[in-house]
Chains A and B, each alone.
Chain A
């Protein structure tokens, strides 16, 4: 859009004088209208159930200060100098250790450090996608991935998701239609998916990999939340089952997103291409941030911080689930995340959550309308709630406020059902069926 933003403390609009001179590829990349609405509505009294921000207020400053001091003391000039494009070796060793704990065996040369997992998404799109190429993802999926991909103008096929993650039976149908090598990659967030909060079951993980092999299509596994599990046992990452899987990890949820540190593990030929792309993007990541992370991750203090964060998120998830049971009407369904940050809420079909956001903002709460998470605007009757950032009492109040907004529209839906004008759909859930 043309508007660049409004000036602080005034209603003045600042125009983009350079509009019309940008690359055609940028035409497909848009800031969501919905996000503009948030910007217009960011008041402190508004409870935010929209943003997926880690609660870094719980990361002790002393631990970070110590890591910074040690970075300067031990790595001095090197931490302030350009580094290698693949990232500092000691940090890659740290990552090898982290991955081993989740069941993935790697050597330092199997991975590179990226500026957040987000850069990994951009670099993969850059090295794999020509305009018109096909990418397969989950529906709904991570908005940031859609944004990263869209600059390269792919055609995006989405696969419906249920409480067990991506519907691999539907994936198979799509792959059959597209044929061998019919897509450049399959993008999945198997653990506590953003935005749906669901986890891909072990059976489906195996089937997904079989299909990817059969149709010869690489799998991109995005795993930012894997270590934030609140119940149930660990599920092996796809990368643990198949060394060809491209794996994206991040320090954002186990340390802090402010460092912008993530990593990509991939087959070496792919890594070589990605490194070339990365050199064009930033030559190398921040040596300083990498060194700080190395020192922060030494010893066991970070594990206590992570345990505290996990406990905090666990309490907030429980608060949200309890509030949903308490306040949400019966014809609304939601997912039960075993970890991560998000709950996905589905209303009866034909109700549209986009206009409801404005009403929610008036009630002092925000959510993200479901259609933001689909490449084609599907999912209008759904919405995403984040429980990661607000305190339990505010979460409960936020859910109560959303319930008020929903109740009004649901009363209408029920009136139709009562009159026999609309069929009763179990749980109100009617998944979108792809044409």
Chain B
């Protein structure tokens, strides 16, 4: 019998249901692979259960707050249990889109122009009076407004004009203490997964998403038939090469390990723009990392095995 692996899933994040779907698939794959897998929800009993069960490694199938923001990673390091995916710092950097965009911009990675507003800037400093400056700062409308720290596009709105901007900010700030107003880039939406291997990070074929509604939001992501996928993405060899270079660059820039998924848009002129980096990519039936894995000849089971082995080998 192989090692004992605890799959962490669920939790109280708004992406709980998605995480349970990811977790169940991962659990199934681990069981088939012969691991002694146990499935754990993130409840107040979690630490106690982990200490009792003493798994050899933890597979993190959590999305959103606590799972993707470094919290659970920190706890596992404290408990001395190796885990899959990026560490605390990379998680923190990727989780805060404002922070990761700053890093990208400073490193010369193209990311759409943006401004960040904290709730405090509005409440304490009268920032709402300066919203007229937004179009000039980001290069005009339309823009996307989203919470800086939230997964699965929750609280995200596409805004066509200045009038709708405050409302969109208000709803994004219902989900967190800061929001990002980012220039909307029209083009092909891509998810580019990076997987660490023996020879360093390998970029998997890019997945292209075409949402029927025109916006790849929560509904489009998790409802079958709401989105069409192309893998590999319909790109010229030059653009493909650039997209892959940028994905690998972002993976390294944020200090990711094992896996990351870099979301991009390729505009009409063929220029890729990086939107964000995900450190705990979805593993559901409609998720993008498994799709990219399949395209690279790495089926779901092998993908899970590879990530698990990375954690086991790394140890603490």
A interface, CB within 8 angstroms of B: 1-3, 6, 9-13, 15, 33, 36-37, 40-41, 348-356, 358, 361, 408-409, 411-413, 415-416, 418-422
Contact = CB atoms under 8 A, between A and B. Distances in A.
A122 B39 CA distance: 35
B12 A41 contact: yes
18 contacts: A6-B10, A11-B45, A33-B17, A37-B16, A351-B174, A355-B175, A356-B174, A358-B12, A412-B123, A412-B173, A415-B123, A415-B126, A416-B128, A416-B169, A418-B126, A419-B126, A419-B127, A422-B166
Given A1-B17, A12-B40, A33-B17, A352 B122 contact: no
B167 A422 contact: yes
A375 to B, nearest CB: 15
Among B27, B128, B154, B155, the one with the most A-chain Cβ atoms within 10 Å of its Cβ is B128
Interface residues of B, number: 44
Interface of B: 9-12, 14, 16-17, 20-21, 23-24, 27, 38-43, 45-46, 48-50, 119, 122-123, 126-129, 131, 154-155, 165-171, 173-176
Given A415-B122, A422-B166, A11 B42 contact: yes
B24 A15 contact: yes
A350 B165 CA distance: 11
Given A11-B49, A40-B41, A415-B126, 6 more contacts: A13-B39, A33-B17, A37-B12, A40-B11, A350-B168, A421-B131
Contact of B166 (A11, A358, A421): A421
A6 B41 CA distance: 7
A21 to B, nearest CB: 15
Contacts of B43: 6, 11, 40
Nearest to B21: A2
A40 B128 contact: no
Contact of A351 (B40, B42, B50, B171): B171
Contacts of A40: 11-12, 41, 43
Contact of A422 (B20, B49, B170): B170
Given A12-B40, A415-B123, A409 B16 contact: no
B42 A412 contact: no
A361 to B, nearest CB: 8
- By secondary structure, the A interface counts as mixed
A433 B85 CA distance: 45
A7 to B, nearest CB: 9
A3 B20 CA distance: 7
A11 B41 contact: yes
Given A351-B171, A412-B173, A415-B126, A10 B49 contact: yes
Contacts of A13: 9-10, 20, 23, 39-41
Report which residue of B9, B41, B45, B174 has the largest number of chain A beta carbons within 10 angstroms of its beta carbon. B174
Contact of A352 (B10, B38, B171): B171
B86 to A, nearest CB: 23
A412 B170 contact: yes
A353 B155 CA distance: 12
Given A9-B45, A358-B12, A416 B171 contact: no
Contact of B38 (A12, A412, A413): A12
A73 to B, nearest CB: 48
Nearest to B65: A358
A352 B155 contact: yes
A413 B170 contact: yes
Rank and list the top 7 A-B pairs by shortest CB-CB distance, nearest first. Answer: A419-B128, A352-B174, A13-B39, A419-B129, A421-B166, A415-B122, A350-B170
Nearest to A352: B174
A40 B50 CA distance: 18
Contact of B123 (A3, A350, A411, A422): A411
